[in-house]
Amino acid sequence: MKFLRSLLSQDLRASPRHEVHYPAHLEVEGDPPILSCVIWDISSGGAKLTIAGHQDLPEEFVLLFRRRCRIVRRTDGQVAVQFQ
């Protein structure tokens, strides 16, 4: 049983997750068309969201989030930014 719990607690995702706690919005068809949420963690392949009070979500939606940024480095046509 201890082995099974250890196996279940391992993170087997293909992409590593990063804890972020970003405020965001979901764009859905319906009323209201925009729902608030929090992105708890994110990876290149997905994210974990908390959406208060909305259990009837469509299978697909658009995740919208924006962050204020400050340029920390400029190199060869690219910029590195820091979230503020």
Residue range(s) defining the domain that contains residue 68? 15-83
Which pLDDT does position 32 carry in this prediction? 77
Of 9, 21, 13, nearest to 46 (Cα)?
Answer: 13
Per-residue pLDDT band at 1 (split at 50, 70, 90):
low
Residue 38 inside a domain? The answer is yes
Q: Let me know if residue 58 belongs to a domain.
A: yes
Specify if 75 maps to a domain: yes
Residue 29 lies in a domain: yes
- Collect contacts of 44-49 with beta carbons under 8 A, ≥24 apart: 44/15, 45/13, 45/14, 45/15, 46/13, 46/15, 48/17, 49/24
Asked, for residue 26, whether it belongs to a domain, the answer is yes
For the entire predicted model, the pTM comes to 0.68
- Residue 2 included in any domain: no
Instruction: Tell me the three state secondary structure of residue 27.
Output: strand
- What domain count does the chain have? 1
4-13, 15-24, 37-46: lowest mean pLDDT where? 4-13
6 inside domain: no
Q: What is the pLDDT of residues 56-84, one digit of tens each?
A: 888 899 999 888 899 999 999 999 998 88
